[in-house]
Each structure stands twice: as C-alpha cells, then as structure tokens.
Amino acid sequence: MSKEAEKQMTYHATRQGYGEALLELGAENPNVVVLDADLAKSTTSIAFKKHFPKRFFDCGIAEQGMMGVAAGLAASGKVCFTGSFAMFATGRAFEPVRNTIAYGNLNVNLCPTHAGITVGADGSSHQALEDITLMRAIPGMKVVVPADYIEAKRAVKAAAKIKGPVYIRLGRAPTPDINDAETYKFELGKARVLREGRDVSIVAVGLMVYEALQAAEALAKEGIEAEVINLITVKPLDKDTVLKSAKKTGRVVTAEWHTLIGGVGSAVSEFLSQNQPCPLAMVGIEGRFGQSGSPDELLKHYGLTAKAIKQKAKKLVSS
Amino acid sequence: MLKTTLKNKLQQKANLIRQDVIKMTGEAGSGHPGGSLSAADIITVLYFHHMNHKPKDPKWEGRDRFVLSKGHACPALYAALAECGYFDRKELINLRKMGSILQGHPDSRRTPGVEISTGSLGLGLPAAAGMALAGKIDKASHKVYTLIGDGESQEGIVWEGAMFAAHHKLDNMVAFLDNNGLQIDGLVNEIVKIEPIAEKWQAFGWETFEIDGHDIDDIVRSLEKADAVKGKPAMIIAKTIKGKGVSFMENEVDWHGVAPNLKQVRQALKELENNN
Ligand SMILES: Cc1ncc(C[n+]2csc(CCOP(=O)(O)OP(=O)(O)O)c2C)c(N)n1
Ligand SMILES: [Mg+2]
C-alpha cells in the first residue's frame, strides 16, 4: 500500500460495531435484551443501557450466571446478546454456553470483546487465544470473526435474526476499516474473495485479513499472485469458496490471531485434507500463552504479521 | 494498641507502596490504581509485619503464603515484593511491558514471590484453599492469606471455595474482603449487591471480623484474632476506599482501570508525600 493510501485509512475497534448495532437492534426489535458482566464500558454495551435501560441487565462479575440467565430469557422468547471479555465468556462460562444455550439451540448471541493477543498490557490472563477452538467445537454454534468494524456491526445485526446461538469474536484495539460501509452485506457462512490470484490462497480472519492483503501486495512485487479470502464465518465454513480457491491455486496459507490448535487453520485443513488435499501452512500462535506488551509488539513477537504470511506463502510456492 | 514506632513504620511503608502504584501505572500508561490503593494497607501489614517469609528464599517451605485473588491490584503487590527484596526495585518501572517479570496480572512463573497466577476473578480464593489444604495434609504450621474484591464476590467460584474451606475446617486460611463498594460498571450495591456479606460468610461456615481496612491497628489486630480461630477459616471484611490516599481518585469509579497521566502522577505524589 502506498504511503498516501495508508494515510487515508480509518481505524475502528470491532467492539464499536457491537455497541452501534445494539442501539439499532434496540430500536427495531422490542424483544432484544442485552446482558453484560461488569464490562459494559469496555464491551460498548453501555450505549444500549443508556437508551434501553429496561432491557439491559448487568449481571455483575458472574459470567456463568449471565449465560444461565440469558438461556432462560431466550427460552422465554427474548433475543439475548451477552457481553464480556472473550476469555471469560468462553472460558469461565463454557459449560452453560454448551449445555444450556447451545444444547437447547437458544437465541443467545455471544459477542465478547478483547479477543486475542491484542488485548495488550493486561497480559495472558485476559488474552483469549482458544475461544474459536472452544466455540467451534460446540454443535450448532455459529462462529463469526469480523475483519473490521463494519463487518462486526452487520454481523451483530444479522445475529438477531439467526436461529440459535452465534459467537462473534470482537477485538479491543482499533484496526483498519477494510470494508465499504455503503455496499457491504453480511451473510452467515459466506466468505469474501478480496483479491484474486492463481499461485496461493491466503485464508484469513479478523485483523489478519489486513495483514493478508499487505502480504499479497508484497508477494505481487515478487511475481507471486496471492488470492486473499476474508473467511468471516469460521463455522459454518464457506466450503465452496475455500474449495474453489484451493483447486485454483493448489496451496493455502491460513492466518488468525489465535492458537493454531483447533482454530481457523484447523477448520480449513480439516475440510481441505478430506476434500482437496494440498500443501497448507498456518499463521497463528503456536500453543503458547500470551504476555503483556503493546498490541503491535505482541503481534510481531508471536509472528502475526504480513511478513510472516508472506514468508509462509513464498515457501509453499517455491517448494 | 501497636507501638507508635511500629505503626509509623507501617504507615510509611503503605505510603511508599501507594507512591509506587502511582509511578508504576503512570509509567505503564495502563493498569488499575483504584483497587491497588484500596488494598495497599492490608498488603503492607501482611508483608512488612504479619507474614513469616524470606524474600531471599521465595520458595522456603515454611513461609506463609499470600494469594492476590483480585489480581488486578498487582501493582501494590509488586511494590511490596520489591520493597521486601524479592527482586530489584528497578523492575517496578517495567510493569506491563513486553518481556517484564511484572505482568499486567500476577504470573507465578515470572515473578519471585507470586504464589499463584491470578487476574481472572474468583480463581484465587479456591486456590488459596487448596494451599491451606496441602498445609493440613503436610501438618505444616504456615498460614495462607488471600484478598478478594467485593465485585469479585459475585463470582460463583468464590463461594465454591468458601464452602470447601469451611467443610475442611481450614483454620490455617484467612481471607480479606476489600470492601470498597465499587466495581467497574458502578456501585456494587447497584450492579448486583453482595450484602449482607458478613452473614453470608458466617452462613458458609466462616468466622468473620469487620474492620477499617485503612487502619493499621485494626488490620494487625484482626489478623492476630483470625489466626487464632480454631476449626474454621476466617474472613476479615475490610471497609476500604477505592483510590485511597489520592484525593481525586478516592471513590471515583473511573479510576478503576485508568492510569494517571504525568500531571496527575505529580499531583498524586505531592499529596502522598505530604501525607508522610
Ligand atoms: C472473571 C473475570 N471477569 C471480569 C474481569 C474484568 N474485571 C477486572 S477488575 C473487575 C472489577 C473488580 O471489582 P472488585 O472485585 O470490586 O475490585 P476492586 O474494586 O477492589 O478493584 C472486573 C470486572 C476479570 N478480571 N475476571
Ligand atoms: Mg470493589
């Protein structure tokens, strides 16, 4: 990307999309109820609290209880959105999410923020690196990882109409806006091909999508044409798009800011290894805990960069 | 009553810890000053007066243990550990920085003197119960202390640990409740109230004491009494002020998780120094 283009980039945290979508949903649908667990400012659900105080409930620092209450509300006809940090929503509350919400296919949407290593200075206890794995493993749970704030907002709005639970992974740190708010449409289970190429497919989610685009540009300068796919929905996987791309390029790199154990790379390789086996490399965190640091330092330290994507892609192409 | 010299010494230590909390969070640009300041006096009495420990030998078997269940108050813990000599005071400015031994929340693998990694609320108290149970199994004479928040008390796992500790008569365990009335989203009383809190702990089988958590005498005496309780664990409910010692932070919910800027650091330090 040119220096000029970089200057024109705008940045938002995906969590801002959550707060904005909730406001619209609150006005459109009187059945929408929002719960939080003492993090309403951080998750941005505080805006909903201000406008719809009778439909907002702060459950206190009690994530398991919050999920139980949400299940009961949903079983009584409400459409619930629950906020917390991804660590506590999927970690502490895993079992009520699995056994009450998902087992009952209830309309409880989990939209926790502060996912991934980019939580930064709070350190490992607050950096959910396993949440995609956990949520993906639950039958019937839909898993969405928005790449920017626009996508996040549309995904949250769509979740209100999707039957059963949806997990939407949101981040704390601002990331580049890559979608066009005018034309963007969210569709569950549909990936977007952001750049076409014939040599290698890069399948990315969340903030790694921007890195993937940067990597593709750098690769193009070296004569390698990378196809960049914003996966958006990890589950259900957009099999058609992934299959078509893998058939065309014959090589796939996946990129996520999450552990490599059971995450996006796993989801893609589980599918491809059985349907279109091809060389595949994964960018993500190699089964380690995080630590304190600035988001940028941490992304570099754990190899979650355009550079890392480029290197893996190059290696696949040259071997 | 404590001897005036001892009381003065402890008050000065607490004040030093408070100054360190301000400097550390200011330097880091993030962190949790409010809850660190409210816990400073309790942590001071434990580390500089009450606990039996050897900073130069952090793994000494006979040591009393402390678990900071409300892990976000770690700046106060780190300042106390450094002042005791567990590690160089120079480390304090590295709080929350990449590669630092002083992580944003306590990390037992990186920081000498940190017994259990915490930061996710509720998990410390049951872990402290486990340590106390190990002490019983080993017929050891050391004690296990822990500190929880009032917002943290909303977590179910706190009460699982509470029930377990009472069931197993863990009288070698003493917990503090940093009862400052605030959590992140507002007043504990307005989010999900925990009162009547003393009655709850009593109903769970604990001996309870109610003290002023900023009164050194009160903290020292309650610890002596709590240690002497037989057949059950003890909970010291400490009335505290979030942000205690820095006028513009006191009882201000917004100072939960925001670091002071340079100007605010200067003002806070000035107030604390005058208090010495
Ligand atoms: C399980 C879990 N949920 C949420 C958080 C985020 N969090 C950190 S501190 C805090 C408020 C703590 O309030 P309290 O226990 O009263 O502590 P204090 O007032 O002493 O700072 C919250 C919700 C967390 N660290 N762990
Ligand atoms: Mg509190």
For A153-174, how does the pLDDT look when each residue is reduced to its tens digit (9 = 90+)? 999 999 999 999 999 999 999 9
In chain B, what percentage of residues exceed pLDDT 70?
100
A214 has pLDDT over 70: yes
A5 has pLDDT over 80: no
Catalytic-role residue among A63, A130, A227, A256 = A63
Residues whose CB falls within 8 Å of the CB of residue B270, separated by 6 or more in sequence, listed in order: none
Judged by a CB distance cut-off of 8 A, whether residue A126 touches chain B is yes
Average pLDDT score over residue span A56-78: 98
CA of A104 to the centre of ligand 2 (A): 35
Residues B134 and A194: their CA atoms lie apart, in Å, by: 57
pLDDT confidence tier of residue A13, bands split at 50, 70 and 90: very high
- Across the interface, whether the CB atoms of A38 and B100 are under 8 A apart is answered no
Query: Which is the closest atom of ligand 1 to the Cα of B119?
Result: 25
What residues of B are in contact with residue A83 (Cβ under 8 Å)?
Answer: none
A35, A36, A38, A59, best to mutate for ligand 1 pocket (most atoms within 8 Å of CB): A38
CATH number for region A192-318? 3.40.50.920
0.90 surpassed by complex ipTM? yes
A144 has pLDDT over 90: yes
Residues whose CB falls within 8 Å of the CB of residue B34, separated by 6 or more in sequence, listed in order: B180, B182, B242, B243, B249, B252, B253, B255, B256, B257
Average model confidence (pLDDT) for chain B?
Answer: 98
Q: pLDDT per residue over B190-239, tens digit each?
A: 999 999 999 999 999 999 999 999 999 999 999 999 999 999 999 999 99
pLDDT value of residue B275: 85
Biggest CA–CA distance in chain A, Å, is 60
pLDDT value of residue B2: 86
**Of B98, B84, B90, which Cα lies nearest the Cα of B43?**
B84
Residues A227 and A213: their CA atoms lie apart, in Å, by: 9
DSSP-based three-state secondary structure for A203 = strand
Residues whose CB falls within 8 Å of the CB of residue B257, separated by 6 or more in sequence, listed in order: B30, B31, B32, B34, B72, B184
Query: Is-contact A224 A200, C-beta < 8 A?
Result: yes
B177 has pLDDT over 80: yes
pLDDT value of residue A2: 64
- Across the interface, whether the CB atoms of A125 and B118 are under 8 A apart is answered yes
DSSP state of A112: -
Residues whose beta carbons lie less than 5 angstroms from ion ligand 2: B 149-151, 180, 182
A4 has pLDDT over 90: no
What residues of A are in contact with residue B104 (Cβ under 8 Å)?
Answer: 121-123, 125-126, 292
Whose alpha carbon is nearest atom 23 of ligand 1? A38
Average pLDDT score over residue span B240-262: 98
Judged by a CB distance cut-off of 8 A, whether residue B117 touches chain A is yes
A122 closest CB neighbour out of B104, B154, B183: B104
Query: Is-contact A244 A185, C-beta < 8 A?
Result: no
pLDDT value of residue B171: 98
| Nearest CA distance, A211 vs chain B (angstrom) | 22
pLDDT confidence tier of residue A227, bands split at 50, 70 and 90: very high
Chain B residue with CA closest to A66: the answer is: B155
Q: Indicate the fold that domain A11-176 takes in CATH.
A: Rossmann fold (3.40.50)
Residues A34 and A170: their CA atoms lie apart, in Å, by: 16
Same fold for the pair A11-176 and A192-318: yes
Q: Which CA distances in Å does A68 have to A59, A98, B154?
A: 11, 11, 14
Chain A residue with CA closest to B73: the answer is: A122
pLDDT value of residue B266: 98
Domain range summary for chain A, segments of one domain joined by +: 11-176, 192-318
CATH number for region B4-274? 3.40.50.970
Residues B154 and A69: their CA atoms lie apart, in Å, by: 14
B1 has pLDDT over 80: no
Q: Which CA distances in Å does A225 have to A111, A198, A199, A218, A318?
A: 35, 6, 5, 10, 13
pLDDT value of residue A6: 73
pLDDT value of residue A272: 98
Total-model pTM = 0.97
Query: Across the strands, what pairs with B211?
Result: B238
DSSP-based three-state secondary structure for A210 = helix
Average pLDDT score over residue span A15-38: 98
Average pLDDT score over residue span A201-216: 98
Average pLDDT score over residue span A255-271: 98
| Nearest CA distance, A236 vs chain B (angstrom) | 31
Q: Residue A37 is which amino acid?
A: A
Q: Which CA distances in Å does B274 have to B25, B244, B246, B248?
A: 20, 14, 11, 15
pLDDT confidence tier of residue B42, bands split at 50, 70 and 90: very high
* A95 annotated active-site: no
Average model confidence (pLDDT) for chain A?
Answer: 97
Chain B residues 154-193 with CB within 8 Å of chain A:
154-156, 183-186, 188, 191-192
Pairing assessment for the beta strands A79-83 and A108-110 based on DSSP bridges: parallel
Query: Is-contact A203 A233, C-beta < 8 A?
Result: no
Judged by a CB distance cut-off of 8 A, whether residue A196 touches chain B is no
pLDDT confidence tier of residue A74, bands split at 50, 70 and 90: very high
DSSP secondary structure, A207-249, as one string: THHHHHHHHHHHHHHTT--EEEEE--EEES--HHHHHHHHHHH
Residues A222 and B16: their CA atoms lie apart, in Å, by: 58
Residues A272 and B177: their CA atoms lie apart, in Å, by: 53
A292 closest CB neighbour out of B103, B151, B184: B103
In chain B, what percentage of residues exceed pLDDT 90?
98
In chain A, what percentage of residues exceed pLDDT 70?
99
Pocket of ligand 1 (CB under 6 A): A 38-39, 61, 88, 92; B 34-35, 38, 70, 72, 119-122, 149-152, 178, 180, 182-184, 242, 256
| Nearest CA distance, B23 vs chain A (angstrom) | 16
